Structures are given as structure tokens and as C-alpha cells.
Structure 1
């Protein structure tokens, strides 16, 4: 009895074919695109929800005599309201989120409106963190805080009037 040796040998495996390589490359490209899209979405959400805004306003001080600097600084209890006086902005929980100062436009003259002398100051809070509503306080602790919802405060600002 003769045993024939298996002369057929199994050929060695062929190197990975081109279609498999293309599929792997395609999977890698798709995964990278998904990762980039996810990072972009997260950045968009973070930048639009926790961004900053600007809030501004005016303070009109009404005097029954000319509001010169010396008259306004100390006139009828307004010594806390002059060029450089502090203005604070608080969020809905009452936490101070920004502080700035009152400013007069250089060279601006006091105006007479309806028989009252009007001295106008401006203020701006740049880079204010987002909030549901804002409150603004100017001057000494006897003065209250004026509140506005965030949309209105950002859109039209605060217009304060004292005196009269």
C-alpha cells in the first residue's frame, strides 16, 4: 500500500487586498469627520450659551438750578453722583457681575428740559456674562437697584433719572 503524499500545498495568504484598505481608510475618514463635527457642535453650544454681552445706560440728574460740577456734586444729596462714581451690575441672584464708572461727555453742557437743568452721565459694562435678568445700582447704599430682563437690558440698556 502506498500512501501518496499530499503534494498540494496551500498557498500563503495573499496580502490585504485593495478594497479592504480602502474600506479602512473610509472608516477612518468618516470617524475623523464625526469627531470634528462633534467638537464644532460643543464649541458652538459653549460660545452661544455662556458668551458675554455688553450693557450700557444713562443717568440723567435733574436740578432746579444749573447743574454745574460744584452744584451737582453735593446738590440736594447727590454728592455720590459725579464723573467717576461707581455703577454696579448684578445678575438675577444679586451677585455683582460687572462694575464701571459714570462718565460725562467731555465738553457737554448741562441742558434745560421743561424748566429743569439736566446733567447726563453714561456708563457701559463690556463683556458681561449671560444672565436671565440684570440689576443696575449707582451711587450710595440708599439708592435702590433697577431691574430689567436680560433681553431688554442688552437691547436698550438702562435709562435712570434722579431729581426734579
Structure 2
């Protein structure tokens, strides 16, 4: 089950920036926290280098990045740059296709980023 981490749960990233890219793009930072057996069993797809996709409401891929393992065990971070503004929804997806997508408005994605928890 893929859940959105709330508030201060998980990792402290999440602010999006309009400093990178053109005025019509923005950057999203986020994290993936695995609370189960990281890197084994049903979570083997959550690993350093795993692909992260940001999608629009039509499931068109807007940007791609990879998970980067942090110093904390089973916490990964990601940054996706140059996402176009003006989409109705932005979704974050990583790992196996059965993990699902977490959806946010542009305002939410820019203000909070994506903090995902698995386990």
C-alpha cells in the first residue's frame, strides 16, 4: 500500500522551487520512506536508482528522476526539475506499477512536494 506521509512524518524535503528552469516550470522534491523490510521481499523495487515519474491527469509523464538513498535506512529522496506549470493534477509514482499514484494540485505539489510512505 502506498500512502502519503503527513506533515513532519518521513523526511524533511518537499518544498518546490521556481528558481530552476523557465518561468513556466517548477521543481519538486520529495521522499520515499519504506517502513517494512527495505530492499527485500515485496519492497525490492524500492532501491537506490529506482525511477520516479511525475505524471499529469492524463497519465502523461512530465518528468523523471531516480531515488537516492539517504543516510537513514530505508529513506530515499528525489528531485524532478523543469515540470511544466498549468496541469490540473500532478501525480508521483515509483516502484512497481501496482504501487499506484499519489495526486496533488499544482499548488500542493509546489508547496509540499511529494512524501511517500510504503509499508
Shorter-normalised TM-score: what interval? 0.7 to 0.9
1:162 aligned partner: 118
Structure 2 residues without counterparts, runs of 5 or longer: 1-21
Q: Normalized against structure 1, the TM-score is what?
A: 0.56
Residue 34 of structure 2 is aligned to residue 61 of structure 1: yes
What residue is the counterpart of 1:101 in the other structure?
66
1:123 corresponding residue in structure 2? 78
Q: CA deviation at 1:137?
A: 0.6
CA RMSD in angstroms comes to 1.5
The separation in 1 between residues aligned to 2:56 and 2:112, in whole angstroms, is 17
| Alpha-carbon distance in 2 for matches of 1:52, 1:139 | 25
Aligned residue-pair number: 97
Which structure has more strand as a fraction of its residues?
2
Unaligned 5+ runs, structure 1 = 1-46, 111-118
CA distance in 2, matches of 1:54, 1:132: 16
Q: Which fold has the larger relative contact order, with Cα–Cα distance below 8 Å and residues 6 or more apart in sequence? A: 2
The structure that has the greater radius of gyration is: 1
TM-score (norm. length: structure 2)? 0.75
Runs (4 or more) in structure 1 with deviation over 6 Å come to none
What is the aligned counterpart of 1:73 among 33, 39, 45?
39
Q: For 2:72 and 2:45, how far apart are their aligned partners in 1?
A: 20
- CA drift of 1:128 comes to 0.7
